[in-house]
Amino acid sequence: MYNGAILIGAGETRAADTFTAVNPTTGAAGDVAFSNAGPAEVAKATALAAAAFEVFSTTSLDARATFIETVADNILALKDDLVATANAETALPLARLQGETGRTVGQLKMFAAEVRAGLWLDATIDPAMPDRAPLPRADLRRVNVALGPVAVFGASNFPLAFSVAGGDTAAAFAAGCPVVVKGHAAHPGTGELVARAIQQAVASCGLPEGVFSYLPGTSNELGGALVSDPVIKAVGFTGSRGGGLALMKIAAQRAEPIPVYAEMSSINPVVLLPGALAARADAMGPAFVGSLTMGAGQFCTNPGLVIAIDGPDLDTFVASAAKALTAAQPAVMLTPGIHASFERGVEELASHAAVITVARGCVGDGVNQAVGALFTTDATKFTADEALSHEVFGSSSILVRCKDIAEIKTVIAKLEGQLTATIQSGDGDEAAAGELLPVLQSKVGRILFNGWPTGVEVSHAMVHGGPFPATSDGRSTSVGTLAMARFLRPVCYQDTPDTLLPPALQAANPWGIARRTNGVLELGK
């Protein structure tokens, strides 16, 4: 169970200043007093993380993978408690939370397998060439090493898969980095349960206690102190653009600036091409609304923008989407603050002179409920006001009517960076899709055909990233095994005695990993 403690290494402590969880369905405060961690707890946690770094970053591949698997098993053992607690704290449905537990556990196990495979080390050997003329070449051996202790900010919209033991934490552990989590105040009981599961795994695997600490809290001061701490070498964050930018600024102003991998805002354009509209305009309406309203629209990949060429087929799609949205039930949002911000965003669009409201969802009688919203405008008006392309976090979308493919291209070219773009295509659309792909590719991290953007597979090839402001650094991903790369850096050893080299680079290849020698890939055992 949880009791509102701050978990620092193997210990737990309490603070005089406390906060309570809020049940968003009722608006009622919970009865557990959660400690508000502050700068003093940050200092203790990071000191332990610094002390743990050398041992944790140099474990064998098997020891590190076993630790990550133990975290997964401990979380699985808590499943019923976890799902019930998260349901009360976030209002996310039980089935969704059961699925998210599976995703969290599966994600950890995938990172464990990735650690064992060893490809992430990118072990590369250029043997010495003593006889090369005019100059001999030294023996050069490169390997990826852990960056250092990482600060992770739990996300509100994935209380399991993107929070305490979510993708950022799993990737940092896999890379060999101790983690200090700033817990999200929207699900403190859930956060503490998971944190205790990790704390137990650290102990049972015999790792130094500073591999993990958990700092719950509600103050910006806590997050600021964590990012400013000189021990911290990188930050993983999912949340608002304002929050991400604030942390990036703190990181950049440190005596030693560090990278902040922040996933922030995206409206995930969906382009409906003429062939798709001709073939299935009516069927696409409910499918789109399903994606828009799923989870009260609280997905970073929510389809907040639809772009298409005007005409009767588009009218059919709009009528079909409006019908589906009008019947859509309201859903409770994660927090009163997120709900208030959704209402504000929808009101700004509804009262905008260039925007027409197409449909709203059903209104309920509970608190903090998102009522879906679909708006429309044309390309000229959309591109004239940047505010129309700002993310409204929740089930709100705007449809932009264009004259032709060239105008669709202009609309896309004006967008900021995005996590995803979707093309709905049908017969005769190949040339148009081919014309749009270069501009889409320059804007997004993932391009989908004939699907809907919500739903992100955790896999090796996944990219859940994209140019700013989708993320702070479009060269990386926060979902999938490539996420480890954010917490690694390359080191080259020159003419180093074999016994002093890291195992990944030793002549006998004791870990049996794949390596490149003189540029040629040699498969491992």
Which member of 263, 391, 407, 416 is catalytic? 263
* Residue 24 binds ligand NAP (CB under 6 A): no
The minimum distance between CB 188 and ligand NAP, in angstroms, equals 10
Count CA atoms within 13 Å of residue 512 on its CB side: 4
Residue pair 480/460 in contact by the 8 Å Cβ criterion: yes
- Residues of this chain, 378-397, that bind ligand NAP according to CB under 6 A: 393
**Among 264, 332, 349, 456, which residue sits at the site for ligand NAP (rule: CB under 6 A)?**
264
Which tokens go with 363? 């209104």
- 156, 229, 272, 288 from 225: Cα distances, Å: 20, 6, 46, 42
Concerning whether 362 is annotated as a catalytic residue, the answer is no
347 is catalytic: no
Q: How many residues of this chain bind ligand NAP (CB under 6 A)?
A: 26
Q: Residue by residue, what is the 3-state secondary structure of 132-186?
A: CCCCCECCEEEEEEECCCEEEECCCCCCCCCCCCCHHHHHHHHHCCCEEEEECCC
Cα dist from 101 to 66, 88, 291, 297, 471, whole Å: 19, 15, 21, 20, 25
Catalytic-role residue among 69, 89, 209, 300: 300
Using CB under 6 A, which of 35, 265, 291, 389 touches ligand NAP?
A: 265
Report how far apart, in Å, the C-alpha atoms of 369 and of each of 313, 330, 345, 366, 518 are: 32, 6, 14, 7, 60
Output the smallest distance, CB 335 to ligand NAP, in A. 7
What's the rounded Cα separation, in Å, for the pair 160 and 436?
36
* Binding of residue 261 to ligand NAP (CB under 6 A): no
> Per-residue string for binding with ligand NAP, 209-248, x by CB under 6 A?
--------xxxx--xx-------------xxx--x--xx-
Residue among 25 and 316 whose Cβ is closer to ligand NAP: 25
**509 is a contact residue toward ligand NAP (CB under 6 A):** no
Residues 6+ apart with CB under 8 A from 456: 301, 462, 464, 479
Give the footprint of ligand NAP on residues 340-379 (CB under 6 A). 341
Token pair 């019930």 in the structure block, residue: 84
Nearest to ligand NAP of 29, 431 (CB atom): 29
Site string for ligand NAP, 156-175 (x = CB under 6 A): xx------------------
Q: Taking CB under 6 A as the criterion, which residues in 433-472 touch ligand NAP?
A: none
- Residue ranges that bind ligand NAP, judged by CB under 6 A: 153, 155-157, 182, 184-185, 217-220, 223-224, 238-240, 243, 246-247, 263-265, 300, 338, 341, 393
Please list the active-site residues. Answer: 263, 300
